[in-house]
Protein backbone atom coordinates (compact mmCIF):
# COMPACT_ATOMS: atom_id res chain seq x y z
CA UNK A 1 0.00 0.00 0.00
CA UNK A 2 1.71 3.19 -1.20
CA UNK A 3 1.88 6.24 1.01
CA UNK A 4 -0.47 8.27 -1.21
CA UNK A 5 -3.02 5.47 -1.33
CA UNK A 6 -2.76 5.07 2.44
CA UNK A 7 -3.43 8.79 3.00
CA UNK A 8 -6.44 8.66 0.68
CA UNK A 9 -7.73 5.51 2.41
CA UNK A 10 -7.30 7.08 5.85
CA UNK A 11 -9.16 10.23 4.84
CA UNK A 12 -12.07 8.24 3.43
CA UNK A 13 -12.32 5.51 6.07
CA UNK A 14 -12.05 7.74 9.13
CA UNK A 15 -14.41 10.36 7.68
CA UNK A 16 -17.06 7.76 6.84
CA UNK A 17 -16.65 6.10 10.24
CA UNK A 18 -16.94 9.27 12.32
CA UNK A 19 -19.69 10.79 10.18
CA UNK A 20 -21.71 7.61 10.67
CA UNK A 21 -21.41 7.99 14.45
CA UNK A 22 -22.53 11.62 14.22
CA UNK A 23 -25.42 10.97 11.82
CA UNK A 24 -26.73 8.08 13.93
CA UNK A 25 -26.55 10.13 17.13
CA UNK A 26 -28.55 12.91 15.49
CA UNK A 27 -31.17 10.44 14.23
CA UNK A 28 -31.50 9.05 17.77
CA UNK A 29 -32.20 12.45 19.26
CA UNK A 30 -28.82 13.93 20.15
CA UNK A 31 -27.78 16.84 17.88
CA UNK A 32 -24.47 17.46 19.70
CA UNK A 33 -22.25 16.07 16.94
CA UNK A 34 -24.34 17.65 14.20
CA UNK A 35 -24.02 21.08 15.81
CA UNK A 36 -20.25 20.51 15.96
CA UNK A 37 -20.19 19.95 12.20
CA UNK A 38 -19.39 16.25 12.43
CA UNK A 39 -22.16 15.00 10.12
CA UNK A 40 -19.74 15.56 7.27
CA UNK A 41 -17.44 13.63 4.96
CA UNK A 42 -14.87 16.42 5.11
CA UNK A 43 -11.73 14.70 6.50
CA UNK A 44 -10.57 17.90 8.19
CA UNK A 45 -13.51 17.64 10.59
CA UNK A 46 -12.55 14.13 11.68
CA UNK A 47 -8.79 13.56 11.42
CA UNK A 48 -6.86 13.94 14.66
CA UNK A 49 -3.32 15.20 13.91
CA UNK A 50 -1.60 13.07 16.55
CA UNK A 51 -3.77 10.03 15.81
CA UNK A 52 -2.94 10.30 12.11
CA UNK A 53 0.80 10.61 12.74
CA UNK A 54 0.71 7.58 15.05
CA UNK A 55 -0.72 5.45 12.26
CA UNK A 56 2.47 5.97 10.26
CA UNK A 57 4.78 5.60 13.27
CA UNK A 58 3.16 2.85 15.33
CA UNK A 59 0.58 1.44 12.86
CA UNK A 60 -2.08 2.43 15.39
CA UNK A 61 -4.04 5.68 15.43
CA UNK A 62 -7.41 7.34 15.85
CA UNK A 63 -9.74 10.07 14.62
CA UNK A 64 -11.37 12.82 16.65
CA UNK A 65 -13.96 11.27 18.98
CA UNK A 66 -17.52 12.19 18.06
CA UNK A 67 -19.20 13.99 20.98
CA UNK A 68 -22.65 12.96 22.09
CA UNK A 69 -24.81 13.67 25.12
CA UNK A 70 -25.89 10.46 26.81
CA UNK A 71 -28.85 12.25 28.42
CA UNK A 72 -30.39 13.25 25.07
CA UNK A 73 -30.97 9.62 24.14
CA UNK A 74 -34.35 8.01 24.83
CA UNK A 75 -32.78 4.62 25.49
CA UNK A 76 -29.21 5.45 26.55
CA UNK A 77 -27.71 1.95 26.68
CA UNK A 78 -29.30 0.76 23.45
CA UNK A 79 -28.80 4.02 21.57
CA UNK A 80 -25.16 4.31 22.68
CA UNK A 81 -24.57 0.84 21.24
CA UNK A 82 -26.29 1.81 17.98
CA UNK A 83 -24.20 4.98 17.70
CA UNK A 84 -21.05 2.95 18.36
CA UNK A 85 -21.78 0.14 15.90
CA UNK A 86 -22.67 2.63 13.15
CA UNK A 87 -18.96 3.39 12.67
CA UNK A 88 -17.75 -0.16 11.97
CA UNK A 89 -20.85 -0.96 9.91
CA UNK A 90 -20.18 2.10 7.74
CA UNK A 91 -16.66 0.80 7.09
CA UNK A 92 -18.03 -2.62 6.13
CA UNK A 93 -20.53 -1.01 3.74
CA UNK A 94 -17.74 1.09 2.25
CA UNK A 95 -15.73 -2.06 1.54
CA UNK A 96 -18.79 -3.66 -0.08
CA UNK A 97 -19.42 -0.65 -2.35
CA UNK A 98 -15.75 -0.57 -3.36
CA UNK A 99 -15.84 -4.30 -4.18
CA UNK A 100 -18.78 -3.63 -6.47
CA UNK A 101 -16.96 -0.74 -8.15
CA UNK A 102 -13.79 -2.76 -8.70
CA UNK A 103 -15.77 -5.67 -10.12
CA UNK A 104 -18.25 -3.89 -12.36
CA UNK A 105 -16.58 -0.65 -13.50
CA UNK A 106 -14.20 -1.52 -16.34
CA UNK A 107 -10.89 0.10 -17.21
CA UNK A 108 -10.39 2.09 -14.03
CA UNK A 109 -7.13 4.08 -14.09
CA UNK A 110 -4.43 2.35 -12.05
CA UNK A 111 -4.21 5.20 -9.51
CA UNK A 112 -7.98 4.99 -8.93
CA UNK A 113 -8.02 1.21 -8.54
CA UNK A 114 -4.98 1.44 -6.25
CA UNK A 115 -6.67 4.00 -4.00
CA UNK A 116 -9.89 1.98 -3.96
CA UNK A 117 -8.05 -1.22 -3.09
CA UNK A 118 -6.26 0.52 -0.22
CA UNK A 119 -9.55 1.93 1.04
CA UNK A 120 -11.16 -1.51 0.78
CA UNK A 121 -8.41 -3.07 2.91
CA UNK A 122 -8.36 -0.32 5.53
CA UNK A 123 -12.16 -0.32 5.77
CA UNK A 124 -12.17 -3.99 6.73
CA UNK A 125 -9.31 -3.54 9.20
CA UNK A 126 -11.13 -0.65 10.90
CA UNK A 127 -14.33 -2.68 10.96
CA UNK A 128 -12.59 -5.57 12.73
CA UNK A 129 -10.40 -3.53 15.07
CA UNK A 130 -13.26 -1.38 16.32
CA UNK A 131 -15.31 -4.43 17.23
CA UNK A 132 -12.84 -5.33 19.99
CA UNK A 133 -14.72 -4.96 23.31
CA UNK A 134 -12.23 -2.55 24.88
CA UNK A 135 -12.89 1.18 25.39
CA UNK A 136 -12.62 3.51 23.61
CA UNK A 137 -13.25 1.10 20.71
CA UNK A 138 -16.84 0.77 19.55
CA UNK A 139 -17.17 -2.84 20.66
CA UNK A 140 -17.01 -1.73 24.30
CA UNK A 141 -20.42 -0.06 23.95
CA UNK A 142 -21.99 -3.30 22.79
CA UNK A 143 -21.17 -4.83 26.17
CA UNK A 144 -23.57 -2.30 27.69
CA UNK A 145 -26.43 -4.19 26.05
CA UNK A 146 -25.87 -7.24 28.24
CA UNK A 147 -24.57 -5.70 31.47
CA UNK A 148 -27.37 -5.52 34.10
CA UNK A 149 -28.17 -2.06 35.45
CA UNK A 150 -27.07 -3.21 38.88
CA UNK A 151 -23.52 -3.35 37.46
CA UNK A 152 -23.64 0.19 36.06
CA UNK A 153 -20.82 1.43 38.30
CA UNK A 154 -18.60 -1.47 37.19
CA UNK A 155 -19.43 -0.81 33.55
CA UNK A 156 -18.51 2.86 33.80
CA UNK A 157 -15.21 1.92 35.45
CA UNK A 158 -14.65 -0.56 32.63
CA UNK A 159 -15.13 2.21 30.06
CA UNK A 160 -12.86 4.63 31.95
CA UNK A 161 -10.00 2.14 32.28
CA UNK A 162 -10.37 0.90 28.71
CA UNK A 163 -7.89 3.25 26.99
CA UNK A 164 -5.08 2.25 29.36
CA UNK A 165 -5.96 -1.43 28.95
CA UNK A 166 -5.94 -1.04 25.16
CA UNK A 167 -2.52 0.62 25.15
CA UNK A 168 -1.08 -2.03 27.48
CA UNK A 169 -2.60 -4.77 25.32
CA UNK A 170 -1.02 -3.39 22.15
CA UNK A 171 2.36 -2.91 23.81
CA UNK A 172 2.25 -6.43 25.28
CA UNK A 173 1.28 -7.85 21.89
CA UNK A 174 4.21 -6.08 20.24
CA UNK A 175 6.62 -7.40 22.89
CA UNK A 176 5.32 -10.95 22.52
CA UNK A 177 5.61 -10.66 18.75
CA UNK A 178 9.22 -9.48 19.10
CA UNK A 179 10.11 -12.59 21.10
CA UNK A 180 7.88 -15.26 19.56
CA UNK A 181 7.13 -13.75 16.11
CA UNK A 182 3.44 -14.30 16.88
CA UNK A 183 0.91 -11.49 17.26
CA UNK A 184 -2.50 -12.15 18.76
CA UNK A 185 -3.89 -8.91 17.33
CA UNK A 186 -2.23 -9.47 13.98
CA UNK A 187 -3.62 -13.00 13.78
CA UNK A 188 -7.12 -11.80 14.61
CA UNK A 189 -6.94 -9.07 11.96
CA UNK A 190 -5.38 -11.33 9.33
CA UNK A 191 -7.90 -14.17 9.62
CA UNK A 192 -10.77 -11.77 10.19
CA UNK A 193 -9.74 -9.85 7.08
CA UNK A 194 -9.69 -13.02 5.00
CA UNK A 195 -13.08 -14.12 6.32
CA UNK A 196 -14.77 -10.76 5.70
CA UNK A 197 -13.17 -10.36 2.28
CA UNK A 198 -14.40 -13.77 1.15
CA UNK A 199 -17.89 -12.90 2.40
CA UNK A 200 -17.93 -9.60 0.50
CA UNK A 201 -16.62 -11.16 -2.70
CA UNK A 202 -19.24 -13.89 -2.53
CA UNK A 203 -21.96 -11.28 -1.96
CA UNK A 204 -20.89 -9.27 -5.01
**What confidence score (pLDDT) does residue 92 get?**
98
Dump the DSSP string for 140-189. Answer: HHHHTTTS-GGGHHHHHHHHHHHHHHHHHHHHHHHHHHHHHS--HHHHHH
Q: What is the mean pLDDT of each run of 10 residues along the chain (204 residues)?
A: 88 95 97 95 89 70 84 92 97 98 94 96 95 93 88 88 92 94 95 98 94
pLDDT of residue 152: 84
Q: Which residues are catalytic?
A: 18
Determine the Cα–Cα distance for residues 45 and 122; give it in Å rounded to an integer: 19
Q: What is the pLDDT of residue 197?
A: 98
CB atoms within 10 A of CB 136: 15
pTM of this prediction? 0.92
Please tell me the distance from the alpha carbon of residue 47 to that of residue 40, in angstroms, as a whole number: 12
Give the pLDDT score at 144. Answer: 87
DSSP codes joined into one string, 104-138 = HS-S--HHHHHHHHHHHHHHHHHHHHTTSSSTTST
pLDDT for res 3: 86
Amino acid sequence: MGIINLIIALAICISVHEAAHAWTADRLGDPTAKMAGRVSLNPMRHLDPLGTIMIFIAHFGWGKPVPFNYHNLKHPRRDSALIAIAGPISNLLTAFVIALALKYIPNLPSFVSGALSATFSLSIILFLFNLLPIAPLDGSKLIGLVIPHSKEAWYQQFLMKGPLVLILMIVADRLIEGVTHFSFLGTFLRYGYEFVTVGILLAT
